[in-house]
Structure 1
Amino acid sequence: MRMSPVEQHLDAQVRQKIAAAHTLSNPDNAPDVPWSSIHQLLEARAEKQASAPYLVFSDEGTRHEISYAQFYARCCKVANIMHGLGLKAGDRIGTVAYNHPDTVVVYYAAWMVGLVVIPFNIGDGDDRMVYSFNNGLAKALFVMPDLAGRVAALKPQFETVEHYLELNNGDAQSPFLNLHEAELQAEATPLVNVDVSPESEALIVYTSGTTGNPKGVVLQQKNLLIDAHCIVEWYGFTPDMRALNVLPIHHVNGMVVTLLTPLYYGGSVVLSRKFSASRFWQTAAAENCVWGSVVPTVLNFLCEAKANNGEHAPDDIAQTPLKFLICGAGPLTIETVKRFEKNFPTKIIHGYGLSESTCYSCYLPFDLPEAERKKWLCDFGYPSIGVALPCNDMAIHSPEGKDVAEGDRGEIVIRGHNIMQEYFKRPDANAETFEHGWFRSGDEGFYKTDDQGRKFFFITGRLKELIIRGGINYSPLEIDEVLASIEGVKAGMAVGFEHSIYGEEIGAFIQKEEGATLTEDDVLKGCAALPFSKRPKVVLFGDEFPVTATGKYQRLKLKPLFEQWKDTQFREV
């Protein structure tokens, strides 16, 4: 059997462990995906649902609806343009863009002809852009006009880029090829004949680590299709269930959950340029969106906006068609769950996954009775992330790679058909991540079993974020829950900082609610029920937390703020 380009440079032992991480304990659970490529899926939708809407772009008064036939025709044209540039199956292209129909067209056109997309997070710095496209061997970049100047200034540093194309009508003065003008000359049919298989690489997503160079997560077309398949099966989606997408589509959450999944079930999606709390419910009502995918930060912003509006909150909230919001990609607190569901009629379906598992690996069961759903969200100290999807196995492992007992904490590990192929050109990271034949998530958690024998998983924090005080491990999320319950706290985060006596000591970083007169003493009193060893010793206040583009708090970036207390001795009073 011939090895793929991904596998050729991997050590044989690591390759064996990665293969094990793609195997289910019960092979019969392998999902039956009816399409072998994303092109086949898109072509089928365009033939069977030609006039049905697929993509609605709604942003600040702008509304543009695109049917399946129109979308497919555009993708065919752009795919032919890509082929005309000399790009071949397996070549990589980069995008420097944001949520926009053009960005979506570029993704699908690339996959139709077997190209690999490297989506760049425009919130990252220039050094990361240069590293990602050089490391990923990008041959062409597709750029939004307002970002063309930034890219043009970096051209001398790009080692492999041969073509630059500008999206969204472009700029007449731009030195880049205007994609829309090229589309006017391009043929939608016949599409170039390219052999694309389920194993064709689709994405290299560079992780948003806080230090060092990001790692490139390699995903194949089958990874994307399988994850979308499992999400559709889990929720029982039907074509009339329109999705709302407010997350950035350079990330797998926005890309797989709210772009590819609606395509998979023949539905439609409303795409916004970016999240807006003031337009969220209005857009959902106007477009009759039934579900969406969010991160915990979005839930907090929505709660805050409603609190600020008081009794003048939009009527759209009470009559919202949004039945549920899938929530993951960041720590969800019980306090956030209770606050959101007290204020809004939309229920939260919590889940968990990573770029390395394509996107989601588990969810709360969608058919749980309401009392059961609330129990699993609120009664165990942490909101449950649910049970494993059929496309993957999940377990809790000790550092030695052994299963731990129910309720004991360990590392969340995953194996199955949605697991990435590798970290691109990172044999060191691959050897560590697939050490025991499972993908090691780096997240700490535990599980509880229900009366049907199903394992409900919980995440207690990142292993790298665990606070180790005097040799004892403390989960910062547990302390976050207490901080969030204090009156006047808009958001709070426990931070482990270096300490000369205990190795690490505990601090708290607090964002106050508007108008709150909260003091350090108020916060310390609010934590009095915690054992002294687990209480924050220093409280700092700030206007905002460092976050990633998808709203994940970057706890480790707060550590340097507490350096001056490294040698302070804290005593219980």
Structure 2
Amino acid sequence: MFLTPAERTADHVSRGWWDGACVDTLFQRAAMAGGAAEAIVDPLNREALDGRAPERLTWLALQDRVERTCAALIARGLAKDDRICVQLPNTIDAVTIFLAAARLGLILSPVVMQYRAHELSHIVEQAEPRAFITIPGFHGHDHAAMAAALAEALPGMEVLVFGPTAHGVDLRAAIDAADPATVAPWLAGNPVDAGEVLTICWTSGTEARPKGVPRDHNHWVLNAHVLVWACEMVPGDVLLNPFPLVNIASIGGLVMPWLEIGGKLVLHHPFDLGVFLKQIAAERVTYTIAPPAVLTALLKQPAIMGDTDISSLRAIGSGSAPLTPWLIEGWADGYGIEICNIFGSNEGMSLISSPADVPDRAERAHFFPRFGAAGISWDSPVARVIRTRLIDEASGEEITTPGRPGEMQISGGTTFAQYWRSPALTRAAFDGDWFRTGDLFEIAGDGPLERFYRFVGRSKEIIVRGGVNISPAEIDELLVGIPGVREAASVGVPDADLGERVAVAVVVEDGATPPSVRELGERLAAAGVAVFKRPERVVAVPALPRNAMNKVMRADLRALVLAAE
């Protein structure tokens, strides 16, 4: 299925951004090179996830597993371009299904384990999958029964379950019994083109119901090249993946780079800091990704790590929330580990502030290179495959001067072409080839800083107090490191006089007292923050509401704050 316009594909090929390689091309190349070397490792706690003992597969064993999975899917009657909805924990099975779909030309639509019938019914209605692949149960919930109930409303959708079940076909048994010799003849009659859709990932739904984001093989392969370049990954690296294969963070941030460089992929699920640290030490992990909240907690409470040996770690990718110089400098000075500041979305990997491009750690925390901006040059290969610009939301004019917030718009080889079956959403999201991200940035300053963007916030998250825009992300950054506070986030709450006022939700350490409005005001005053940005309400909450990507959901946070008051 081709959704990217032919003229755009031809343009990207002529520029050298897309080389015609499919995801399976990378996998077969890696398997041939890796041979008997270990390729992939299950979570330590897999038995608690789905009752299966953890597995460790070599490249050759993984290649055989993928081929048998392909044969089993062919035997179920699946055809090229069929959609398959997948709800699996982060295990070898999930990676195998991804690789099998890529090999056969199926379209994978992965969803997080937390989704229930409400979210899934919308996705199934939109994607119309031929198969729904899941496990019998997870954390006490009967996923197979839930999938079977969904299938009743969508005739033609078959439920495939990794394990014995009363609700569908036992896919594991089908894989074990499959004949891999059937795959090659099938592939000969069904070639896969790099311009065809491989995945439909779903937006996190913090603003509306999830939107389907189709991405081609071309997008994912270039995504691999970009991350390997930016994060300086090398053959033989051991990558620890703590996120399920449902979006760009996991697929683009770790799985695709693993296929690009070979090495070993270590899986982790659900996020458990103790298990995470054990895996780093035991597997000699060299690169992983972790949200700022986790990295902050480890720096503030080093006793958590105890005597765990994390010396193998060379770098950590982080994002989904603003970073701070304190965080980046703390990891570099204390452990010799560099933090890569990554800003992206399912719609298109966009900005990376890496040690190679931005060696100054304070700049790396605050700024992103203006890759692909008119008149700005960077040596990084990333700058050659992406274009960026800032647009004033009121006037529609391109912003070329510092200190003026505007919407980030991107285009290039990693940017998707359209939302799934949503022409109205697509029209609203694009200005020609430019994707409107909804994220507000500004040019960081004059002189040397003119080469950088500074994140301001989400346009729909901006707090409007007395007609003045306030970025909650800016305030959040200033709240890092408050004694006795585990994490904090700001949000606008309704006010009859000013429209909105700034409220801060804090999660305090056990036994600690929440800071007062006065204490927070003094802290921000000491940092030179304008009076109108200082919090006027403080509410203690048990936890900040976050989505599967660990981003704070501002709408849910606002409701939590108002309920607490």
For the aligned pair, the TM-score class normalised by the smaller chain equals 0.7 to 0.9
> SS at the partner of 1:511?
strand
Equivalent residue number for residue 553 of structure 2: 554
If the length of structure 1 is used for normalisation, what is the TM-score? 0.86
How far is the alpha carbon of 1:285 from its aligned partner?
2.1
How far is the alpha carbon of 1:183 from its aligned partner?
1.5
How far is the alpha carbon of 1:258 from its aligned partner?
1.1
How far is the alpha carbon of 1:466 from its aligned partner?
0.6
Choose 412-421 or 183-192, whichever is displaced more.
183-192
Equivalent residue number for residue 31 of structure 1: 17
Q: Give distance in 1, aligned partners of 2:450 and 2:61.
A: 44
Does residue 397 in structure 1 map to residue 391 in structure 2? yes
Choose 60-69 or 225-234, whichever is displaced more.
60-69
Q: For 1:295-323, what per-residue CA distance to the aligned partner results, in whole angstroms no more than 9, with x for missing partners?
A: 2233234345535x4xx722414xx2001
Q: Give distance in 2, aligned partners of 1:448 and 1:152.
A: 49
How far is the alpha carbon of 1:123 from its aligned partner?
1.6
Equivalent residue number for residue 356 of structure 1: 347
CA contact (8 A) 1:21 1:414 kept: no
Q: Give distance in 2, aligned partners of 1:563 and 1:236.
A: 45
Change (3 A) 1:453 1:544: closer
How far is the alpha carbon of 1:374 from its aligned partner?
1.2
> SS at the partner of 2:307?
coil
**Correspondences of 1:95-110 after superposition (within 5 Å):** 95-110=86-101
Q: Give distance in 2, aligned partners of 1:457 and 1:189.
A: 53
Letter matched to residue 77 of structure 2: G
Q: Give distance in 1, aligned partners of 2:88 and 2:72.
A: 19
Does residue 188 in structure 1 map to residue 180 in structure 2? yes
Q: Give distance in 1, aligned partners of 2:56 and 2:167.
A: 30
Q: 2:85 is matched with which residue: 84, 94, 109?
A: 94
Letter matched to residue 224 of structure 2: A
> SS at the partner of 2:42?
strand
How far is the alpha carbon of 1:20 from its aligned partner?
7.0
CA contact (8 A) 1:89 1:114 kept: yes
Q: Give distance in 1, aligned partners of 2:418 and 2:116.
A: 24
Change (3 A) 1:87 1:322: same
**Correspondences of 1:14-163 after superposition (within 5 Å):** 30-31=16-17, 33=19, 36-60=21-45, 63-146=54-137, 147-152=142-147, 154-155=149-150, 158-163=153-158
**Correspondences of 1:242-281 after superposition (within 5 Å):** 242-281=238-277
Q: 2:462 is matched with which residue: 459, 462, 466?
A: 466
Q: Give distance in 2, aligned partners of 1:176 and 1:218.
A: 27
Q: Give distance in 2, aligned partners of 1:247 and 1:512.
A: 26
Q: 2:169 is matched with which residue: 177, 187, 191?
A: 177
Change (3 A) 1:54 1:516: same
Change (3 A) 1:563 1:295: closer
How far is the alpha carbon of 1:89 from its aligned partner?
1.1
CA contact (8 A) 1:325 1:346 kept: yes
Choose 271-280 or 69-78, whichever is displaced more.
271-280
Change (3 A) 1:203 1:565: closer
> SS at the partner of 1:419?
coil
CA contact (8 A) 1:507 1:537 kept: yes
How far is the alpha carbon of 1:23 from its aligned partner?
6.2
Unpaired runs of 5+ in structure 1? 8-14, 567-573
Equivalent residue number for residue 363 of structure 2: 376
Equivalent residue number for residue 412 of structure 1: 408
Change (3 A) 1:526 1:467: same
Q: Give distance in 2, aligned partners of 1:22 and 1:284.
A: 42
Q: Give distance in 1, aligned partners of 2:559 and 2:109.
A: 32
CA contact (8 A) 2:328 2:338 kept: no
Equivalent residue number for residue 526 of structure 1: 523
Change (3 A) 1:210 1:151: same
How far is the alpha carbon of 1:157 from its aligned partner?
5.2
CA contact (8 A) 1:217 1:420 kept: yes
Equivalent residue number for residue 329 of structure 1: 320
Q: For 1:107-127, what per-residue CA distance to the aligned partner results, in whole angstroms no more than 9, with x for missing partners?
A: 110111111111011223321
Equivalent residue number for residue 309 of structure 2: 316
CA contact (8 A) 1:139 1:160 kept: no
Q: 2:289 is matched with which residue: 286, 290, 293?
A: 293
Q: Give distance in 2, aligned partners of 1:303 and 1:518.
A: 21
Does residue 537 in structure 1 map to residue 519 in structure 2? no
Change (3 A) 1:241 1:450: farther
CA contact (8 A) 1:350 1:386 kept: no
Q: For 1:44-98, what per-residue CA distance to the aligned partner results, in whole angstroms no more than 9, with x for missing partners?
A: 2223332222212241396532122211111111112212222111110011111
Q: Give distance in 2, aligned partners of 1:452 and 1:190.
A: 60
Q: For 1:433-459, what per-residue CA distance to the aligned partner results, in whole angstroms no more than 9, with x for missing partners?
A: 103531111001123489889832221
CA contact (8 A) 1:22 1:419 kept: no
CA contact (8 A) 1:291 1:323 kept: yes
How far is the alpha carbon of 1:349 from its aligned partner?
1.0
CA contact (8 A) 1:118 1:205 kept: yes
Q: Give distance in 2, aligned partners of 1:410 and 1:514.
A: 40
Letter matched to residue 546 of structure 2: V
> SS at the partner of 2:266?
strand
How far is the alpha carbon of 1:324 from its aligned partner?
0.5
Letter matched to residue 314 of structure 1: D
Q: For 1:133-155, what per-residue CA distance to the aligned partner results, in whole angstroms no more than 9, with x for missing partners?
A: 12111110111121434424633
Change (3 A) 1:157 1:503: farther
How far is the alpha carbon of 1:486 from its aligned partner?
2.8
Q: Give distance in 2, aligned partners of 1:89 and 1:21.
A: 21
Q: Give distance in 1, aligned partners of 2:276 and 2:334.
A: 14
Equivalent residue number for residue 376 of structure 2: none
Q: For 1:168-208, what per-residue CA distance to the aligned partner results, in whole angstroms no more than 9, with x for missing partners?
A: xx12x433211221122212235222211011111111111
Q: Give distance in 1, aligned partners of 2:30 and 2:154.
A: 38
Q: Give distance in 2, aligned partners of 1:555 and 1:339.
A: 28
Report the number of matched residues. Answer: 536
Q: Give distance in 1, aligned partners of 2:278 and 2:423.
A: 48
Equivalent residue number for residue 375 of structure 2: none
> SS at the partner of 2:469?
strand
Q: Give distance in 1, aligned partners of 2:237 and 2:202.
A: 31
Change (3 A) 1:336 1:150: farther
Equivalent residue number for residue 430 of structure 1: 426
Letter matched to residue 313 of structure 2: L
Letter matched to residue 362 of structure 1: L
Does residue 306 in structure 1 map to residue 288 in structure 2? no
Choose 62-71 or 461-470, whichever is displaced more.
62-71
CA contact (8 A) 1:94 1:133 kept: yes
CA RMSD of aligned residues (A): 2.9
How far is the alpha carbon of 1:251 from its aligned partner?
2.1
CA contact (8 A) 1:237 1:265 kept: yes
Change (3 A) 1:235 1:77: same
Does residue 165 in structure 1 map to residue 160 in structure 2? yes
CA contact (8 A) 1:95 1:142 kept: yes
Letter matched to residue 148 of structure 1: H
CA contact (8 A) 2:39 2:59 kept: yes
Ranked by relative contact order (alpha carbons within 8 Å, sequence separation 6 or more), the top structure is: 1
Q: Give distance in 1, aligned partners of 2:124 and 2:61.
A: 31
